[in-house]
Chains A and B, each alone.
Chain A
Amino acid sequence: MAVTELLPEAAEEKPPSQLGQRLTNAAVPIGTAITLLLIWQFGVRFFEVPTYIAPAPTDVLAVFRDRFDILATNFWPTFTISVAGFFAGNLAAILIAVTFVHSRAAERAFFPIAVFINTIPILAIAPILVLIFGPGMTSKVVIAGLICFFPTLVNMVRGLQSVSPQTLELARILSASKSEIFWKMRLPSSMPFLFSALKIAATTCVIGAIVSEWIGANVGLGALIIDSTFNFRSPMLYATVFMSSGLSVLLFSLVTITEKLVVRW
């Protein structure tokens, strides 16, 4: 409540210049992007670059207009895998972080293993996971989840430990139990740390999902990328790439909005 009450005050300080500043801030990157697209469009046409090597932006736009059904059909499986992987990987990371914070022994035993798993490139471990979990949905979700896992684990451990020594002294004077300290102090303290990890995870889970679809999938943006590449359908390939990054932006925005609602301090 208090935050929303204070916001108008802050906005009233200098409204005209702030709006102008915002427009300028938005105009510069948009202008640059449009200029680059124009250079690309005319460059491709002027040098007569074949479409399969580099399609013009208008060719890619044409795919979005004419073949959007194909893009949409392949978007949803990837979306599902990304979101499922996001939740599975982060949930596992959060639970393990909670265990680490409460047990030094568990941290000492398992943290090096977590580091080791993180050092294996996702492309190298993905086929192994497909062998273990089969070519279905499970292996794909595990791959997408695994890529989210490590940054969240590290950040969550740091977040749970970020309670100040004085706050812990206060808890002791109040004779607080371990669970009270966890729910009322450690967990809320960790939220800013958790959300910076979730922002990383929002984009990496899409990478994981696409990589998982490269290995034996016949639907999904990852499968469409492989298919378009092998068939020299470059405009479709480019459109798929834009769909993939659109998915990342969508998930990132959802996490950012959630953060604004949760972390108000």
Chain B
Amino acid sequence: MDGTTNTGGRSIAATLTGASVKFGSFTALSNISLEIGEGQFWTILGPSGCGKSTMLRLVSDLLPPADGTVEILGKSTEAARLAREFAFVFQDATLLPWRTALKNVELPLEMGRKRGIPIPQGDRTPMELLELVGLKGRENALPHELSGGMRQRVAIARALVCQPKLLLMDEPFGALDEMTRDRLNMQLLEIWRETGVTCLFVTHSIPEAVLLGQKVLMLRAHPGRVKEVVDINLPEPRAVDLRETAEFNEYSSYLRKSLEDC
């Protein structure tokens, strides 16, 4: 309806073809086939232990596929990693505590020099990115002087510094209080609209999945595999008060039922 959910004719950001991940004899993910269109916002839901995080680690070349293939923008995950096509935001901000906010954002520009490919410089300077996430004036603060929400915003700015095409987020706001989470959700959507980055966002909150996602990927556990992909056709740009609408609640209750019989 909104024109962005349709992948026809658009380029593909990530393709998984029959991809599996095994830890010894344990199958964490089995036979995952997906096409993630460029510029889309996907949220990933599923019962705990269904391999949500494993899937992000598969896409980000942290884990190798046991079977099948994963491609990012037509490249292998390794080539995409070397070219900085994607960035990762962890549940914990994972900032280096001895570096200021600005120095943390600059970290990706300093590391990986020996990999033989020049480090891509984004359109925005680290300082502008801190401004984008609303941390102007705090660039010299050390992580322990920032709140949890601020730290996570520094982590997002750091992820954007090489201007990735694909942003992988593993429950980035899971540890934050609801007010902060709402604010950061809206800020993230703004960044997404502005930069056109493709987002893969793992969450265990159904409202968050519906509020952010154009598509919700529902995984099922033991072994982890795709249960269904739900298109969320809500008016854009999304806002927090969308949660009080009947449509939103329909999607939420549908996903809740789907999650229950996983």
Contact = CB atoms under 8 A, between A and B. Distances in A.
Interface of A: 1-3, 5-6, 164, 166-167, 169-177, 180, 184-185, 188, 191, 263-265
B90 A169 contact: yes
Interface string B21-49: 00000000000000000000000000000
A176 B119 CA distance: 12
A188 B96 contact: yes
A180 B112 contact: yes
A265 B143 contact: yes
Contacts of B145: 2, 6
B141 A171 contact: no
Interface stretch (B80-88, B127-135, B194-202): B80-88
A159 to B, nearest CB: 13
Contacts of A169: 57, 62, 88, 90
B100 A2 contact: yes
Nearest to A178: B114
Of A173, A177, A265, the most chain B CB neighbours within 10 A belong to A173
B94 A166 contact: yes
B110 interface: yes
B55 to A, nearest CB: 15
Interface string B90-130: 10101011101000000110111111000000000000000
Contacts of B98: 188, 191, 263-265
17 contacts: A2-B142, A5-B140, A164-B94, A169-B57, A169-B62, A173-B60, A175-B81, A175-B82, A175-B115, A176-B111, A176-B112, A177-B113, A180-B112, A180-B114, A188-B98, A263-B98, A265-B97
Given A173-B62, A174-B108, 12 more contacts: A169-B62, A170-B88, A170-B90, A173-B60, A173-B61, A173-B88, A175-B82, A180-B112, A180-B113, A184-B107, A185-B96, A265-B97
Contacts of B141: 2
B222 interface: no
Given A173-B81, A174-B108, A167 B142 contact: no
| Chain A to chain B: the 10 pairs with minimum beta-carbon distance, closest first | A175-B112, A265-B97, A176-B111, A174-B111, A177-B114, A175-B115, A2-B140, A166-B94, A265-B98, A174-B112
Q: How large is the interface on B (under 10, 10 to 19, 20 to 34, 35 or more residues)?
A: 20 to 34
Nearest to A6: B145
A6 to B, nearest CB: 6
A170 B94 contact: yes
A171 B111 contact: yes
B129 to A, nearest CB: 16
Interface string B1-34: 0000000000000000000000000000000000
Contacts of B87: 173
B256 interface: no
Nearest to B100: A2
B62 A265 contact: no
Contacts of B96: 167, 184-185, 188
B114 to A, nearest CB: 4
B117 to A, nearest CB: 9
Contacts of B107: 174, 184
Contact of A180 (B62, B81, B111, B140): B111
A3 B98 CA distance: 11
Contacts of B142: 2-3, 264-265
A264 B112 CA distance: 26
Contacts of B143: 265
Contacts of A265: 97-98, 142-144
Nearest to A185: B96
Contacts of A171: 111
Contacts of A164: 92, 94
Contacts of A167: 94, 96
Nearest to A188: B98
A110 B241 CA distance: 63
B172 to A, nearest CB: 12
A3 B57 CA distance: 36
A184 B111 contact: yes
A174 B115 CA distance: 10
A226 to B, nearest CB: 46
Nearest to A1: B140
Contacts of A177: 112-115
Contact of B92 (A166, A180, A188): A166
Contacts of B113: 177, 180
Nearest to A167: B94
Contacts of B112: 174-177, 180
A260 to B, nearest CB: 14
